Chain A
């Protein structure tokens, strides 16, 4: 039995919805989900017994406590004795990279007529810094078990129809041909993550378009998440659905199983 805990923000919805349908396909895998919105996650801590969550004294509202209980059935999750820990929906800095490169072309990566050029070495240095700052909180650096990052999915292609401010840089991704820049950042982020002991499970390639964005069909959202009714937001160009979550979870489980085969004795996880 492989015991996996997936911690995450709102992006955890996609794999969690998927798991109810696909658990039967993975009889040797136990998956628990836990997390909350970013502000609630930030208030969660890991105690000496390996319990991660809202401990006494956590600075959150009663509403957030109640919501956490409602969503996950507990205020904390037991991480002791698990085989792997995944961080789902991590803000991995890709928006910052787009903002950084908005005014620049980058030697050897993109030539789109931007007003200025950035050298490839400078881009790498800046991108490494972004990656470093985007890795999970320092508390997890001491975590001795297997830990996997599941970076936030890239927006769907219809993000380019959005008039939201946050989507501004994404609107130019396809016209500028930013695919190579994003790929370079993926590589650099992976380097930085590996240096701190993290594996990576990016969204599966099958979910991406040739331009490097997520296919729109994975952004068609359900009206309900578990027992919570979601407000229908046609303009949600961020979150993905269960179909996406299933592919992502399959990819994660395959990755963990493959690693388990390579390393017959999985590191015993004793908690942080």
Chain B
């Protein structure tokens, strides 16, 4: 009698591949579908965990685009407070595939978001990226003028990119009821006012997220048929949920949907690959060591472990080769590793 499992390698079995391996994630956890050359122009976007991915790629010498650059003398910590150097353009965190699709369409003049300017304490904020000007701007007109320049940078980034690295973050979002415009944060969190007659909560399901990313892929490949996509799922749990469920249950749903979308995309398209940073960080073998004391923030060691594996699998010598990963307690958020995460502001509403 033969079994289809008989000739499978050790990586196919939990006991040898996970339970028996100790804490370190093995190199063969990920076998890339395609190599990313250091010369390939990469555009990065996604939830706040994507900032780590982009930074690691830059440090490793990949050609991560920055279409809204600042002079090199400005330190990262100062630049990033204003949304610079986080992603390939200054769009801040993009938590949902719907928001990414919307941004690309807006940059191409195909749609205009509803209620684009939000207000707080007499200052004005770009509703689509409220975190990039933490103190807001002087007037709504200025917000719109800044956004017009930003959209030109978005067009440049996505128009010239050869690889999109996108980290799926959330399924929960807030929409404008009449138009369907999606926002990165709930109105009333960073700025704006929540009016239930105007805004509605929406928890995207798998079909919706899949369809949204398929649209993104189609848009970008229509311009560049050789465009490739590397997708990941953020291992950072939800700060809060508006779904009515327990936040842990809501997190499981959200991550399951996003992970399923990634799996489907990879199965459907040769030009889409999935990097399992989610699995590396959340693995039972890691025994929670890659999470901070709040069980939500990913530690610097976790980020480095994931990105080291990414680089090794791509045949790149990690820039910190020979150096041990940071101590288990080292936190993301220490100087040089600051992550800008608007959804963490929801903590302020925690009871």
State the A residues within 8 Å of B (CB): 96, 99-100, 107-108, 116-117, 119-122, 125-126, 129-130
Contacts and interface: CB of A to CB of B under 8 A. Distances in A.
Nearest to A123: B82
A126 B74 contact: yes
Nearest to B148: A117
A119 B137 contact: yes
Interface string B52-84: 000000000000000010110111001101100
A120 B138 contact: yes
A120 B139 CA distance: 12
The 9 closest A-B pairs by CB, nearest first: A122-B82, A121-B135, A129-B78, A100-B71, A126-B74, A119-B133, A99-B71, A96-B73, A116-B149
A129 B74 contact: yes
A119 B149 CA distance: 12
Interface of B: 68, 70-71, 73-75, 78-79, 81-82, 133-135, 137-138, 142, 145-146, 149
Nearest to B135: A121
Contacts of A96: 71, 73
A125 B78 contact: yes
B138 A108 contact: yes
12 contacts: A96-B73, A100-B71, A107-B142, A117-B146, A120-B138, A121-B134, A121-B135, A121-B137, A125-B78, A126-B79, A129-B74, A130-B73
B74 A100 contact: yes
Given A126-B70, A129-B75, 19 more contacts: A100-B71, A107-B137, A107-B142, A116-B68, A116-B149, A117-B145, A117-B149, A119-B82, A120-B138, A121-B82, A121-B134, A121-B135, A122-B82, A122-B133, A125-B78, A125-B81, A126-B74, A126-B79, A130-B73
Nearest to B81: A125
A154 B82 CA distance: 30
Nearest to A107: B142
A121 B71 CA distance: 17
Nearest to A125: B78
A120 B74 CA distance: 16
Nearest to A122: B82
Contacts of B70: 100, 126
A126 B146 CA distance: 18
A213 B70 CA distance: 26
A27 B137 CA distance: 54
A122 B73 CA distance: 14
A108 B145 CA distance: 13
Nearest to B139: A107
Contacts of A108: 138
A147 to B, nearest CB: 25
A107 B145 CA distance: 10
Contact of B146 (A119, A125, A129): A119
A130 B79 CA distance: 12
A117 B149 CA distance: 8
A100 B70 CA distance: 7
Contacts of A99: 71, 73
Contacts of B79: 126
Contacts of B134: 121
B71 A107 contact: no
B133 A121 contact: yes
A122 B131 CA distance: 12
Nearest to A120: B138
B107 to A, nearest CB: 16
Contacts of B138: 107-108, 120
Contacts of B73: 96, 99-100, 130
A162 to B, nearest CB: 21
A186 to B, nearest CB: 19
Nearest to B133: A119
B338 to A, nearest CB: 14
A119 B142 CA distance: 9
Contacts of A122: 82, 133
Contacts of B78: 125-126, 129
A178 to B, nearest CB: 16
A96 B72 CA distance: 10
A36 to B, nearest CB: 25
Contacts of A125: 78, 81-82
Contacts of A100: 70-71, 73-74
A107 B135 CA distance: 14
A119 B90 CA distance: 13
Nearest to A115: B149
A166 to B, nearest CB: 15
Contacts of B133: 119, 121-122
